Amino acid sequence: MGWQIYLVSDNTWRDVLSLVPLAVWTELPTRDPLQVIALHAAEWVQQNADDHQRTVGFSSHDETRALGELHEQTFQARPAQREPVRLALGFVGPFFQPERDLKISARGATNTTVCVSLPPISMRAGERLTLFVAADGSTYGDADLARLARAGTHRPIQKNPVLVYHTEGVQGVDLDAPLDFLLRLSRLPVQLSLIPINEMPLRFADTLKEKEFPMQFVRSPKTIFDLQDEQRADRDTWVIAPFNDDGYAIGLVAAPFASLHRGLVLFLDQRNLDRKNLNPETRDQENPNYYGDWSADGKDVHFVGKVDQAIVAHFSRGARTCVFHHSRGDLEQAYLAETLSDKIILVNPNDLEISIHEENETLLRAFKFGGSIKKLFGGASLVAPLLAAAKYERVLPIRSRNPHAIDRFVEETARAMSADWGIQTRYLTIIASPEAIPMAMPFGFQSTINSDAWVELDGRHYASLGVNEAEVDLAVGRIFGITVSDASTYIARDLFYDELIFTDRENHAALLLMSEDYPSAKNDICTTTDAAELQNRLDEYFAGVANRFDAAKTYCGKTRITQNRSEILEAFKRAHLILYCGHAETSGLSDVINTLDDYNATMWLNLPVLIGIGCLTGAFDRMRYRQQTLRFLPGLIETIHTVGLAAEKKSITALEKEARDLLSNLFIAQNIRRGAMGQQCSVGVAYFHNECGAILEELYLRGASLGEAFRRAKNREYERDLREGAPDNLTAGEILGDPHYVLIGDPTFTPFNPRDR
């Protein structure tokens, strides 16, 4: 067993997207007990001209396609050599004639002949029709096909880690999170080789040697062109997209499509056929690689978008098939036809140009890589295809930061998937910082704190498909980081979690903390700080799943937490589950831990899930709003000083302090950077909820994914409020359900459950 680890800068999006199918791909189909035959309608052999019937011919064993492949293939009718289709027969193909009267016959495993007649079908050229026929004669549509494909197809996905790191200028490089991931891998009995793309960052190799990292270095850095050139003979599907302003958004879809076919994705324009680019020493961004001696003989070539005609002419010659996807949407539909995915990934491709400027002196203190990193919270979309390729997810780019436009886009997509394909969307993964796709918005006034209220958007808005936004329809989670390095490393941890958690399967630990209790009494922040009473309440949450953990450390009451803070910090680093109930703030958990003082070079987490109750730990949008209003404060403060309004002066001083807080110190951002797999957090000042027990129950008793557990818990909270009434904390009107808490992390992720040992 061995992995090739690719290390690539975010400096050029073409390099990152081109690397996706080289590192993550679906194996070509193999023989399987459940099989279908894919047919090209235009090539069927007419057996009886009088009744216009078509008899389907059968192929040799080598040409048989496994269910779910849906690969276009031409078959000649050979009645005497028919081979049995064990369980199912299917066809997919463009219909170039406007109407046809079709009849399909096939010999099943029981040597009975199955016939299916279809009425005349009106289809536009290039449209695809999918039908599967079981040996008993029953037909299956697309909705059933998804189930059958998963039950009968065994197409392993080969994965190698890709670590995308953020760079700025000549020396600014953020490699903290990627290096932590490599150090986690070093504990495993796996053969590892590190392949830097274009160049090895300064001092990176020395740091790995100091850590005694057991791996092989590729001495000469590879370029994407080199890797593609080495593998092009074995990659039978080439996806060619334009290298222009539209190329990036197209590439977000094209990369996982190429991965699905174990192919290549090439971003080209006419310059790539210029012979002056033959000299490898002169190849760079302005003087691109030369593809003029590449032949597509025997390849399946897909052209996407407005590809230069010279490129089309060159790569069409000798190609086995050429498919033209005239838009990104056409390619999305082709990907959906093959995967029938019920998981969508939402990205904003404009986030390559979106960033927040902050100077955080402690941001790169862990491994002491040089340079200056100031452009934060941008570029997360760049790593979305890695997750999509590894989990058959559908990437949906939208160039908008308007919450209503985003909400409408998700609803329309889900509706179309249901109407056109019979697919009920289950998961929504947002790979974007709140600066690119908002996570919260102000909503009225919160009387208990004399401040504006913030309502989360991920669950109540984007993932709610009906009129009632209190009911969450999609399991939703969000992935982002302080830089793209964090988002990339999170996805690597996500995809290789089963291997990383291996060393801790016999030491599965939980950390339980309850500082104060604030139950459902309206307009009451804390009703008790008694340690014994807090212990009883905490036991209610955890008792049902306690036997799923080998050890659990419990600290209740502010006094005990304060007295044992050093011990708690060590437990915080080792725990796989962290449950906290009490006061919190943007930089951490009150009296327990904060990013300003405690997140030093040794603070790396043990792949935990953090669940609980606490204000502001995810208040990115609120903090950003404060930052943007800071420029109006000086004149206002001077006026207040002149007038002498003491109360207003105190309030403004607090606002000024909050506005100067750094987003890079936000609790959730630092946790994702340092190893967390998921975290429930609040977008503003929150109040009590009853979700903790439900989430733990779903995760560790029912084996639900993180997003599904969170969705069910939020909907239970809504049902409870329907019965008992919502906390009257918002003078703009009662809000039923949980309006504050979001999930940071992959919603399809399932944490290790000790019952699986």
Give the helix/strand (H/E) hosting 394: strand 394-397
Length of the chain: 757
Q: For the stretch 568-606, what's the b/e string if a residue is b when 16 or more beta carbons lie within 10 angstroms of its beta carbon?
A: beebbbebbbbbbbbbbbbbbbbbbbbbeebbeeebbbb
- The answer to whether residues 692 and 612 touch, using CB atoms and an 8 Å cutoff, is yes
Q: What percent of the chain has pLDDT over 70?
A: 70
The pair of three-digit structure tokens given for residue 87, joined into one six-digit string: 């369980």
Q: How far is CA 691 from the centre of its chain?
A: 24
The pLDDT of residue 282: 59
430-440 pLDDT tens trace:
999 999 999 99
Q: Tokens representing 29?
A: 């189909």
Rg (CA), the chain: 28
Q: Is the pTM of this model over 0.95?
A: no
Q: Which of 730, 716, 711, 731 is nearest to 460 (CA)?
A: 711
Of 117-131, 247-261, 331-345, 635-649, least confident by mean pLDDT is 117-131
β-bridge partners, 133: 89, 139
- Look up residue 597 and give its two tokens: 């003082």
**DSSP classification of residue 679:** E
With cut-offs at 50, 70 and 90, classify the pLDDT of residue 88: very low
Q: Report how far residue 512's alpha carbon sits from residue 572's, in angstroms, rounded to the nearest whole number.
A: 10
Write phi, then psi, for 42 (nearest 5 degrees). Answer: -70, -15
- Token pair for 414: 């889900």
Residue 79: which pLDDT band, with cuts at 50, 70 and 90? very low
Please provide the distance, in angstroms rounded to a whole number, between the alpha carbons at the two ends of the chain.
21
- Give the model confidence (pLDDT) of 711-732 as tens digits: 999 999 888 877 876 665 544 4
Give the whole-angstrom CA distance, residue 180 versus residue 188.
14
- Which of the two residues, 653 and 300, has the higher pLDDT score? 300
Between residues 268 and 200, which one has the greater pLDDT?
268
- Residue 158 has φ and ψ, to the nearest 5°, of -90, 130
- Please state, in angstroms and rounded to a whole number, the distance separating the CA atoms of residues 52 and 106: 17
Residue 738: its pLDDT value, please? 85
Q: What is the pLDDT of residue 567?
A: 93
**Best-predicted range by mean pLDDT among 354-358, 525-529, 753-757?**
354-358
Residue-level pLDDT at 49: 30
Average pLDDT of the chain, as a whole number: 76
Does 344 score more than 60 pLDDT? yes
User: How far is it, in rounded angstroms, from Cα 663 to Cα 278?
Assistant: 47
> Which pair of structure tokens corresponds to residue 75?
């078959």
Task: Give the model confidence (pLDDT) of 390-405 as tens digits.
Answer: 999 999 999 999 999 9
Confirm if 118 and 102 have CB atoms less than 8 A apart: yes
Residue 524 CA to residue 543 CA, distance in Å, equals: 26
pLDDT of residue 321: 87
Which has the closest alpha carbon to 179: 209, 199, 158? 209
Higher confidence at residue 690 or residue 653? 690
Q: Is the pLDDT of residue 618 over 90?
A: yes
DSSP character for 10? T
Lowest-confidence segment of 10-14, 67-71, 276-280, 516-520 by average pLDDT: 67-71
pLDDT at site 304: 95
pLDDT recorded at residue 71: 32
689 CB-side CA count, 13 A:
32
At 297, list the tokens: 């003989």
Nearest one of 191, 190, 195 to 218, comparing CA atoms = 195
